[in-house]
Amino acid sequence: MPLGGDPRRERLVGLLLLGVAAVLVVSSPTWFAGDRQVVGVAQLAVGVLLAAVGTLLLRRARPR
């Protein structure tokens, strides 16, 4: 897939990734409350990573 893909698709994928990241970050305290800190930290890390990639895709999809 070429790097200069369809801006509409990049925007939609970016929004999807931001939504998944939000769910992961918001639901991560459940693991900390259940005495599973390692899972909570891993879930937070994945959420932050997905949020960063989603934000990058949204910025790339904006018209210049």
Listing DSSP states for 27-55 in one string gives HTHHHHHTT-HHHHHHHHHHHHHHHHHHH
- Does residue 1 lie within any of the structural domains? no
Task: Quickly count: other Cβ atoms within 10 Å of residue 3's Cβ.
Answer: 5
Q: Please compute the mean of the pLDDT values over residues 12-36 and round it to a whole number.
A: 93
Q: Indicate if the pLDDT at residue 4 is higher than 70.
A: no
If one counts the domains in the chain, the total is 1
| Predicted pLDDT of residue 5 | 74
Secondary structure element (H or E) that encloses residue 62, with its range: none
pLDDT band at residue 1 under the 50/70/90 scheme: very low
Domain around 35 = 7-61
Instruction: Supply the pTM of this predicted model.
Output: 0.84
In a domain, 23, yes or no: yes
* CA dist., res. 60 & res. 64, Å (int): 9
In the predicted structure, residue 39 carries a pLDDT above the cut 60 = yes
